[in-house]
A and B are shown apart, each in its own frame.
Chain A
Amino acid sequence: MTYRLTINGASTEVAVPGMRRLLDVLREDLGLTGAKEGCGEGECGACTVLLDGAVAVSCLVPVCQVDGCDIRTVEGLGRGATGTGATTGATDAATDAADPQLGPLQRAFLETGGAQCGICTPGMLMAGEAFLASGAEPTEQAIREAIAGNLCRCTGYTKIVEAIALAAARQTELGA
């Protein structure tokens, strides 16, 4: 079957079995390796992407259910990012906080130390991005609920919560 997907704003078609996991389509068929496979069973959130704006774990979504969907991955967070996967995510340790390619949330993660080993980071960023877009009051509790489906074994979460709060504060300042 051929499925039509819009990934980070760019339309693409994939001819793959319908039960192929979206995670495998992204990583293996399209070369978008930002979304990570942690557990492969929906527990860890490392493969989190946005489907029509809503967080989902791409390891539990078959591609037949996202035909015609608008999909966003971590590759789409940077400024000037495209669906080709050409830009780097915030997991790139050498990236400077002032790198113009980074999106606001990625920059906040870098500044607060919200990323350590980096495996959870793409998923955390997408969960954080959905939270920022929701317009919810960025209380600590609300941020923690927004990332409750994303496991991190390095940071203890505090720096990640700070990063999302920082990005939320800047978004408010900009009146966005």
Chain B
Amino acid sequence: MPFEPPVVSPTTLPEAYAIAAATPHRPLAGGTDLLVQLTGEIGPPPERVLDLWRLDELRGIVIRDGTLELGALTTYTEIRRSAACLAHAPALVEAATTIGALQIQNRATLGGNVMNASPAGDTLPVLLALDAELVAGGLAGERTIPAAAFWPAYRQTAVRPGELLVRIRIPLVDGGQQRFRKVGTRRAQAISKVVVALAWRADPQSGRWRDVRLALGSVAATPIRAAGTEAVLESAPPTEAVADRAVEALIAELHPIDDVRSTAAYRREVAGRVLRRLLRDAGGW
């Protein structure tokens, strides 16, 4: 049988903070990543586990202060069923729909995806493209970290020892558009070869794009923004000529690797094609 580390299941957030501050614990949300690690086959299993599942303070989806706020324990099923998410974060709903299958979506959480910090984490490019903020809490209080600064290196997060991720905030953007595409081996249960999230606001007069955000997963050691490509698209209309330049810029700035799931060449090519199709659909050409 797999390793069975000691676990504590606090029922209030202050209690959880106190436990996390006293001794290092691996936080456990929906378990869909952590339980796989109990075999010890993919690295040392966690020594002590802090089960967050009973912390109802970390659940729920609300609109507050111009943002869509999701508790860290929000499951993908809850995201799929949320009218607020559908209205304000359709790309996140799309990502939730493509993750695992129903068995995983019923347990796995947005906060778990954020904290697992896999470069293939499907929601992470969405959070980058939507300028999300991540709120970490601890005995010293809460602090807010922009998604752009949250994953500094491979499998690392900006959350400090003793802190827990408590919620995710996504700003509401009037007239904001967002798209999500995932390329994997099949439609369900696939770990991504390439993930693309794109967000923009179209200027109502000129049709030119503003505040363009293009984020990708599975093409670098962390989820990334494609800043060079964003610069090509910023203040430009989604024409075929602009798409040509944007795809060229994207292929030039991506440096993926060959691994068990795909090759660098395939990832670069597919990322370019996905971007071209998104621009073609938006531009109607």
Residues in chain A within 8 A of chain B (CB atoms): 17-21, 24, 28, 40-43, 45, 48, 51, 54-57, 59-62, 64-65, 67, 127, 130, 145-146, 148-150
Taking CB atoms, residues of chain B closer than 8 Å to A40 are: 2, 39
Closest A residue to B5 using CB positions: A19
For the complex, give the distance between the alpha carbons of A148 and B100 in Å. Answer: 9
**Set A20, A55, A130: member contacting B4, Cβ < 8 A:** A20
Please state if B100 and A149 are interface contacts (CB–CB under 8 Å): yes
Taking CB atoms, residues of chain B closer than 8 Å to A148 are: 101-102, 187-189
**Set B35, B77, B187: member contacting A62, Cβ < 8 A:** B35
Chain B 1-22 per-residue mask, 1 if CB under 8 angstroms from chain A, else 0: 1111111010000000000000
Q: Is B103 an interface residue (CB 8 A)?
A: yes
Known: A19-B4, A148-B189. A55 touches B51 (CB 8 A): no
- A/B interface sample: 16 pairs, CB < 8 A: A17-B7, A19-B5, A19-B7, A19-B49, A24-B1, A41-B36, A42-B104, A43-B189, A54-B106, A56-B107, A57-B107, A61-B107, A62-B28, A127-B102, A148-B101, A148-B187
Shortest CB-to-CB span from A18 to chain B, Å, is 4
Shortest CB-to-CB span from B52 to chain A, Å, is 10
How many residue pairs at the A-B interface have CB separations less than 8 Å? 97
Please state if B9 and A60 are interface contacts (CB–CB under 8 Å): no
Shortest CB-to-CB span from B6 to chain A, Å, is 8
For the complex, give the distance between the alpha carbons of A149 and B100 in Å. Answer: 7
Known: A19-B5, A65-B53, A149-B189. A60 touches B102 (CB 8 A): no
Closest B residue to A51 using CB positions: B106
The 4 closest A-B pairs by CB, nearest first: A149-B101, A148-B188, A18-B7, A17-B4
**Set B7, B38, B189: member contacting A64, Cβ < 8 A:** B7
Shortest CB-to-CB span from A138 to chain B, Å, is 15
Please state if B188 and A57 are interface contacts (CB–CB under 8 Å): no
Q: Is B146 an interface residue (CB 8 A)?
A: no
Shortest CB-to-CB span from B248 to chain A, Å, is 36
Closest A residue to B191 using CB positions: A43
Chain B 67-107 per-residue mask, 1 if CB under 8 angstroms from chain A, else 0: 00000000001000000000000000000000011111011
Taking CB atoms, residues of chain A closer than 8 Å to B36 are: 41-42, 60
Shortest CB-to-CB span from A120 to chain B, Å, is 13
